[in-house]
Amino acid sequence: MDREERGDLRWVGIPGLVRDAAVRFADREAVVDGRTRISYAELGERVERAAAACLASGVEPGDRVAVWAPNTLEWIVSALGAVSAGAVLVPLNTRFKGAEAAYVLERSRARLLFVTGTFLGTSYVASLRRAAAEGTGTGPLPGLPHLEDVVVLAEDAPPSFRTWKEFLADGDAVSAAAVRERAAAVRSDAPSDIIFTSGTTGRPKGAVITHAQSLRCYQVWSELAGLREGDRYLIVNPFFHTFGYKAGIIACLMRGATMVPQPVFNVDTVLANVAAERISVLPGPPTLLQSLLDHPARDSHDLSALRLVVTGAAVVPLQLVERLRAELRIATVLTAYGLSEASGIVTMCRQGDPAEVISATSGRAIPDTEVRVVAADGSPLEPGSPGEIRVRGHNVMGGYFEDPDGTAKAVTPDGWLCTGDVGVLDADGNLRITDRIKDMFIVGGFNAYPAEIEQLLGLHPDIADVAVVGVPDARLGEVGKAYAVRRPGSTLTADDLIAWSRREMANYKVPRTVEFVAELPRNAGGKVLKTELRTRTA
């Protein structure tokens, strides 16, 4: 068994990993972001400077520090700088609207926020200021009393906020010895990050993951995927997601691979980056890979450096795997399954698995973890029988942030995480995902939770009742469909509700279609019969 598979770690925490990478891979290119190219030694220096600025800002060990920004060098440096200062990272979804971001900031009691300026035509600063304009706080945002400092990752910032340059300059008075002392004090069992993931309650819950879990899981991921020193890794998966941050940034730090962050998925940009930067590693959802294969200008780009693709989060057609291997000559195509509550990784295919296994399953349990499929009473089922997927091992979260009731519902007393997903194990231990107990559906790689969307739609003054289900979509895999009951006298149209939704929630949550009904089908207990609604859609 390889060192990585045994779980042996050379780092106590993520700060140690950053410092070790800066020494081991000093002259290797670490990050390519537009015209900016920096080595691992330079990355280490930038992270230490950001950590010094966090200390100057008053960040203490265990404080929560949030980042609300797209995939950029500044995201990498600010996040790793905060963690190196002993803070707990809270990544925010770039598709959030102001109110959604404000909820997570308040729920986590984040002390410091790094936020982008304008992204995709939206001022994140303005949307957050609107959402948190009223309150009793004395900091930069009255509605967020715990948030003491907001740093805008841009050259300009409104009053009471600081620019990235100003923030870094304030840390120049902090000694390198003080920064390294703080970084060295980080314990392996301390929280490294809180990943907020929506659940059936309709409110995001924060899965708490430790440094040891983050390092061990993505050391295993790197080994199973075959990530190598010198690989050039195009990171399209968002950094705010476990996969983008840990299978991206953390894995590259471990192996000395070059990170090429891409802020927005655009197939033309992917093709250009793969060719220009000689990209060898390209993880992403099936929709990304399908778009790449089907692009009319594909053959005019040199994609010959590509050797490793990792996908998942949705059904992977056998034809897609075969085309990646045959048309692009990609040596390794793998699939995986994970969720935030299990550090983002539960099962993974292995190199050498046949195309049928890679397309039809999400692989086998990662080393030193257990996966079982259980009946409604929790008893294990035989291979081939569908049931709820449960996971136990080093990857399972310690719990939801300050939510003992939610934790007790999610993790059994003997350590089994109840995923809420339905699956089937075959005789070899390969897992096939077949359904979702929690009604979640996946829109282009993003998890969408009907309960949360329904709660938001219910705020519309003309909506009396609403239910959301996932329906098939040729491009995105699945999208939302809303069944809505109007209030008496309302003339609300489907277009009106969709337009309103686009202003109130992240784009992937917005229902693509709306069907108005006189009433929703319910059982004797009053629960909406989602199965019946899905049947209507089929």
Residue 526 CB contacts under 8 Å (≥ 6 apart), including other chains: none
Look at residue 5 and tell me whether its pLDDT is greater than 50: no
- At 453 the three-state DSSP class reads helix
**410-432 in b/e burial notation, b at 16+ Cβ within 10 A?**
bbeeeebbbbbbbbbbeeeebbb
Looking at the fold, whether 330 and 417 belong to one and the same domain comes out as yes
Q: Is residue 182 part of a domain?
A: yes
Long-range contacts of 296-301 (CB under 8 A, 24+ apart): 297/268, 297/271, 298/271, 301/271, 301/272, 301/274, 301/275
Q: What is the pLDDT of residues 232-275, one digit of tens each?
A: 999 999 999 999 999 999 999 999 999 999 998 889 999 999 99
* Arithmetic mean of pLDDT over the chain: 92
Q: What is residue 312's predicted lDDT score, i.e. its pLDDT?
A: 77
Q: Is residue 177 part of a domain?
A: yes
Q: Is residue 227 part of a domain?
A: no
Q: What is the pLDDT of residues 280-307, one digit of tens each?
A: 999 988 878 988 999 999 999 999 999 9
Instruction: Of 197, 103, 95, 107, give the one whose Cα is nearest residue 440.
Output: 197
Q: Is residue 155 part of a domain?
A: yes
Looking at the fold, whether 133 and 195 belong to one and the same domain comes out as yes
Helix extents (H) in 193-249: 211-225, 242-244
- Rounded CA-CA distance 309/293 in Å is 13
Q: What is residue 525's predicted lDDT score, i.e. its pLDDT?
A: 52
pLDDT band at 4 (very low <50, low <70, confident <90, very high): very low
**Distance, first Cα to last Cα, the chain:** 47
- Rounded CA-CA distance 164/169 in Å is 9
Looking at the fold, whether 61 and 109 belong to one and the same domain comes out as yes
- At 65 the three-state DSSP class reads strand
Q: What is the pLDDT of residues 515-531, one digit of tens each?
A: 999 999 986 556 788 88
Looking at the fold, whether 356 and 450 belong to one and the same domain comes out as no
Q: What is the pLDDT of residues 58-74, one digit of tens each?
A: 999 999 999 999 999 99
Q: What is residue 200's predicted lDDT score, i.e. its pLDDT?
A: 44
Q: Is residue 222 part of a domain?
A: no
CA-to-CA separations, 42 to 19, 28, 45, 74, 229, in angstroms, rounded: 11, 10, 5, 13, 17
More confident position, 188 or 120? 188
Q: Is residue 163 part of a domain?
A: yes
Phi, psi of 128 (to 5 degrees): -70, -40
Q: Are 476 and 531 in contact (CB under 8 A)?
A: no
Boundary of a domain, candidates 187, 206, 225: 206
CATH number for the domain that contains residue 294: 3.40.50.12780
- Going by the DSSP 8-state scheme, the letter that residue 249 receives in this structure is I
Report the pLDDT averaged over residues 141-163: 93
Boundary of a domain, candidates 175, 206, 237: 206
Looking at the fold, whether 340 and 481 belong to one and the same domain comes out as no
CATH number for the domain that contains residue 194: 3.40.50.980
Look at residue 2 and tell me whether its pLDDT is greater than 60: no
Q: What is residue 436's predicted lDDT score, i.e. its pLDDT?
A: 72
Looking at the fold, whether 430 and 468 belong to one and the same domain comes out as no
Q: Is residue 240 part of a domain?
A: no
| Dihedral sign (CA 315, 380, 531, 438) | negative
Look at residue 6 and tell me whether its pLDDT is greater than 60: no
Looking at the fold, whether 137 and 82 belong to one and the same domain comes out as yes
Q: Is residue 252 part of a domain?
A: no
In the chain, % of residues over pLDDT 90 = 75
Looking at the fold, whether 428 and 448 belong to one and the same domain comes out as no
Boundary of a domain, candidates 162, 179, 206: 206
- Total domains, the chain: 3
- Kindly report the pTM of this predicted structure: 0.86
Q: What is residue 403's predicted lDDT score, i.e. its pLDDT?
A: 96
Residue 154 structural domain: 3-206
Looking at the fold, whether 414 and 448 belong to one and the same domain comes out as no
Q: What is residue 346's predicted lDDT score, i.e. its pLDDT?
A: 97
CATH number for the domain that contains residue 520: 3.30.300.30
Looking at the fold, whether 328 and 453 belong to one and the same domain comes out as no
Looking at the fold, whether 420 and 474 belong to one and the same domain comes out as no
Looking at the fold, whether 146 and 74 belong to one and the same domain comes out as yes
pLDDT band at 198 (very low <50, low <70, confident <90, very high): low
